[in-house]
């Protein structure tokens, strides 16, 4: 069990108090697929976006564990899962790689606005033909004088239509080469960069999703994040943070869902008694609690391991699997507990399921996580050729 300091708890409660006032109209915005700019402004005003970043650039200087702890409360108190997702995407996709790998000049220029939330960030990795195959990306970056020239397209880019800056991953070396990918900080207003129409989706509808097109986009050499060829290293670092922060938010959402089901089961009566007295209903809610507490343990144990710089590759993959799958089960159980009310849109219970399903796909599909674990266990490595 994690022990949190008084300062950590006060910060969590302060953010939670603001988050609790957001999302009152989340069902209407979910139907319309609109981003909550007023909610973003309120979270900006409370300093949420600066949580894990250096105070020299306007951040709060909090460690990974504290950041996840606070974001869990955001997930619990803010009912707009799409807004929560965009918040995590912004912080992790742009701020995290800049702080860890960006040059002093790049950090001084962009991190203050990223921390303040006045400049919104996104990252562009996935491609139409590649999906989860990062090493097979086809977007290229070719050095031309003092600039790199980027060409290609990216798909399923969260925050694309609201972003001011995008961390674009492009190939600067041979396909399949771990040192052949480079990360670039690209301004949205760069000539040749265009964003496609919003993509309608099953869940997280209030978090904008679109394609990004790069047609001879010139990026100054000093806007390379890290160094040429360091893109895969940066991507790996970012994914650890993305999983822990994004799915930490999911844990908060699961906690809110469990509380709602407990309250409903204690007050809803059928056949002369509250439905919580029915063993089958009670068992579903107990399973929701088990899923929640298992997910909490994985999130915080893995965050502690990553923060201590221990080898956590397997832990991160298992955390992503455990939490994403548990979130879907929890949402399905909630629909069953609420019955007909859970199935109709008016109560927002079915929305939880639509939002949860995406977690099995983004940040590396469940199948990719299992494949990574199999590789770490030596199960899918090619056999060595027989010795002569």
Q: What number does CATH give the domain 233-376? A: 1.20.140.10
- What pLDDT shows up at residue 175? 85
- 249: closest CA among 74, 53, 22? 74
User: Which residues are catalytically annotated?
Assistant: 242
Token representation of residue 156: 């399923």
Q: How confident is the model at residue 387 (pLDDT cuts 50, 70, 90)?
A: very low
Q: Which of 67, 59, 77 is closest to 8 using CA atoms?
A: 67
What is the residue extent of each domain of the chain? 6-120, 122-229, 233-376
Mean pLDDT, range 199-225, rounded to an integer: 97
Residues 258/292, Cβ–Cβ less than 8 Å: yes
> What's the CATH number for 122-229?
2.40.110.10
Confidence of residue 386 (pLDDT cuts 50, 70, 90): very low
CATH architecture of 6-120: Orthogonal Bundle (1.10)
pLDDT (0 to 100) of residue 3: 86
pLDDT at 380 (0 to 100):
80
Q: What span, in angstroms and rounded, lies between the C-alpha atoms of 315 and 340?
A: 38
Say if residues 157 and 191 touch (Cβ distance below 8 Å): no
Are 62 and 70 contacting, i.e. CB atoms less than 8 angstroms apart?
yes
Give 75-120 pLDDT, tens digit per residue.
999 999 999 999 999 999 999 999 999 999 999 999 999 999 999 9
List, for residues 139-194, the tens digit of each pLDDT value.
Answer: 999 999 999 999 999 999 999 999 999 999 999 998 888 889 999 999 999 999 99
Per-position DSSP letters for 55-115, written without gaps between them: GGGT-----HHHHHHHHHHHHHH---HHHHHHHHHHIIIIIHHHHHH--HHHHHHHHHHHH
What pTM value is reported for the model?
A: 0.95
Mean pLDDT within 302-318? 96
Alpha-carbon separation of residue 22 from 35, 140, 222, 271, 308 (angstroms): 12, 41, 39, 37, 34
Summarised one tens digit per residue, pLDDT across range 152-164 is 999 999 999 999 9
DSSP of 308-333, one letter per residue? Answer: TT---HHHHHHHHHHHHHHHHHHHHH
Q: 343 pLDDT band (50/70/90 cuts)? A: very high
- The whole-angstrom separation of Cα 51 and Cα 73 is 13
Matching CATH topology for 6-120 and 233-376? no
Whether the per-residue pLDDT at 133 is higher than 80: the answer is: no
What's the mean pLDDT in 343-365? Answer: 96
């Amino acid at each position: 069990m994690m022990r949190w300091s008084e300062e950590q708890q006060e910060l969590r409660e302060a953010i939670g108090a603001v988050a609790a006032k957001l999302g009152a109209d989340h069902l209407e915005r979910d139907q319309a697929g609109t981003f909550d700019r007023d909610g973003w402004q309120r979270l900006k005003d409370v300093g949420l976006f600066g949580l894990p970043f250096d105070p020299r650039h306007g951040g709060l200087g909090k460690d990974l564990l504290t950041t996840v702890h606070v974001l869990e409360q955001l997930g619990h108190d803010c009912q707009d899962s799409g807004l929560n997702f965009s918040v995590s995407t912004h912080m992790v996709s742009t701020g995290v790689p800049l702080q860890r790998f960006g040059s002093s000049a790049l950090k001084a220029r962009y991190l203050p606005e990223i921390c303040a939330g006045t400049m919104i960030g996104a990252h562009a990795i996935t491609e139409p033909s590649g999906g989860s195959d990062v090493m097979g990306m086809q977007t290229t970056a070719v050095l031309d004088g003092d600039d790199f020239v980027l060409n290609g397209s990216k798909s399923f880019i969260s925050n694309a239509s609201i972003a001011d800056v995008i961390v674009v991953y492009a190939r600067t070396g041979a396909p399949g080469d771990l040192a052949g990918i480079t990360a670039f900080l690209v301004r949205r207003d760069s000539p040749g960069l265009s964003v496609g129409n919003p993509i309608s989706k099953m869940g997280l509808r209030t978090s904008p999703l679109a394609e990004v097109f790069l047609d001879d986009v010139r990026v100054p050499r000093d806007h390379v994040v890290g160094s040429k060829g360091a893109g895969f290293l940066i991507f790996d670092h970012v994914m650890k943070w993305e999983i822990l922060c994004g799915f930490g938010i999911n844990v908060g959402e699961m906690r809110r869902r469990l509380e709602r089901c407990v309250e409903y089961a204690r007050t809803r009566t059928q056949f002369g008694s509250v439905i919580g007295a029915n063993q089958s209903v009670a068992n579903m809610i107990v399973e929701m609690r088990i899923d929640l507490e298992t997910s909490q343990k994985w999130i915080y144990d893995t965050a502690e391991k990553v923060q201590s710089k221990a080898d956590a590759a397997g832990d991160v993959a298992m955390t992503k699997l455990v939490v994403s799958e548990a979130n879907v089960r929890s949402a399905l159980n909630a629909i069953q507990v609420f019955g007909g009310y859970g199935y109709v849109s008016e109560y927002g219970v079915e929305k939880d399921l639509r939002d949860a399903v995406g977690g099995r796909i983004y940040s590396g599909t469940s199948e990719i996580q299992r494949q990574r674990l199999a590789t770490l266990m030596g199960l899918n490595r090619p056999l060595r050729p027989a010795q002569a």
